[in-house]
Chain A
Amino acid sequence: AQTVTQSQPEMSVQEAETVTLSCTYDTSENNYYLFWYKQPPSRQMILVIRQEAYKQQNATENRFSVNFQKAAKSFSLKISDSQLGDTAMYFCAYRYTNAGKSTFGDGTTLTVKP
């Protein structure tokens, strides 16, 4: 069974600084997708960034980028120029390419301080 581990229950960062959230996963599959979702107090899941495992190049979306290390099964999220609106719970998720169901980590609560 696939597992996703987020070892940082809580993190904080000063506004405008950079923060990295960690995620490791375990799978025996070779083709899969990895995601980072943001869940603000409204609890709506918002896709932040995604990575296909077959792609070696790390995904980037504006201030958000990932460090994908397939051999190490690591998928960290870097948020640059942190903004107050980035305050939320962040979930790392795994999805096998032949199934739409997702396995989530326990989440990291990020607080951006002014």
Chain B
Amino acid sequence: GAVVSQHPSRVICKSGTSVKIECRSLDFQATTMFWYRQFPKQSLMLMATSNEGSKATYEQGVEKDKFLINHASLTLSTLTVTSAHPEDSSFYICSAGPDYYEQYFGPGTRLTVT
């Protein structure tokens, strides 16, 4: 089946630095990708919709200047956490699909900010 990859799988960074997470669709093109955040033993919360060639759409309460999204090609979306702080530590998951019905989730990225 279709595959969505994420890189890195886990990252540790120091407070105040920025970290970039990649989400790639490996065998299909995706004009839209989605970024979710999941705290331990909690649900997935949608952060933003990544749109190829245009600005991302952020959910209410998500700081767009802190979580920068770039969808420069039909197979790659990146999420950059800027000036990271310990409270940004979380599990970040992307999803993408050839259409709205078929959506595949990436394996996730565990971010730890020290």
Contact = CB atoms under 8 A, between A and B. Distances in A.
The finding on whether chains A and B are genuine partners in a shared complex, rather than unrelated, reads: yes
Main SS of the interface on chain A?
loop
A75 interface: no
A96 B46 CA distance: 14
A55 interface: no
Give chain A's interface residue range (CB within 8 Å of chain B): 20 to 34
A45 B34 CA distance: 14
Interface string A9-50: 000000000000000000000000100010000111100000
B100 A43 contact: no
B49 A101 contact: yes
Contact of B103 (A43, A44, A52, A100): A100
B103 A104 contact: no
A101 B58 CA distance: 12
Given A44-B108, A45-B105, A95-B103, A100 B32 contact: yes
Interface of B: 32, 34, 38, 41-46, 49, 91, 93, 95, 97, 99-101, 103, 105, 107-108
